[in-house]
């Protein structure tokens, strides 16, 4: 479980490097996530789909995906219209209600165990490096340098 206290700085921003634990860095692997249910509320489906694209999901095992699936199901049920009463004819009245505070707290706790936020990942000593952005102009300059060298050699 993650430690308490303030969110630690990223390893490259720390001044003291002699008393820290090694940081795990994400790369490849992981188990295959299950498909999102088409019956879920759009918010729950979007959250679950975002996990599939997130870097920490490379560390997820089947049990982690099962936890995420259960959490998305819970979020979906809470956000969908719920029965609030009956009409005089006996028809059920449905209304969209705001999520309960206890539900929100439980979701956030479960999300913490899945390392959903950057703060959660830092506390667990996991840093995700962003993919380096390739500048098309810089890439073209390198290609031109290669062709220049080839022309000079000829």
Q: Quote the pLDDT of residue 8.
A: 74
The residue with greater pLDDT, 116 or 149, is 116
Mean residue pLDDT of the chain comes to 82
The residue with greater pLDDT, 82 or 144, is 82
Q: Quote the pLDDT of residue 71.
A: 96
The whole-model pTM stands at 0.66
Q: Quote the pLDDT of residue 7.
A: 73
61: tokens are 């095992």
Question: Parallel, antiparallel, or unpaired: how do β-strands 82-86 and 126-127 relate?
Answer: unpaired
Map out the domains of the chain as residue ranges: 21-153
């Amino acid at each position: 479980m993650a430690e308490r206290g303030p969110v630690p700085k990223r390893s490259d921003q720390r001044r003291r490097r002699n008393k820290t634990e090694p940081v795990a860095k994400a790369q490849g692997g992981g188990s295959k996530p299950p498909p999102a249910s088409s019956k879920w509320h759009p918010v729950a489906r979007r959250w679950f789909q975002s996990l599939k694209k997130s870097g920490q999901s490379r560390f997820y095992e089947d049990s982690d995906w099962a936890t995420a699936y259960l959490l998305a199901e819970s979020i979906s049920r809470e956000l969908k219209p719920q029965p609030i009463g009956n009409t005089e004819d006996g028809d059920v009245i449905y209304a969209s209600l705001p999520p309960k505070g206890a539900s929100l707290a439980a979701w956030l706790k479960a999300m913490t165990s899945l390392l959903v936020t950057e703060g959660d990942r830092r506390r667990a000593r996991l840093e995700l490096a962003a993919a380096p952005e390739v500048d098309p102009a810089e890439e073209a300059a390198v290609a031109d340098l290669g062709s220049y060298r080839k022309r000079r050699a000829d």
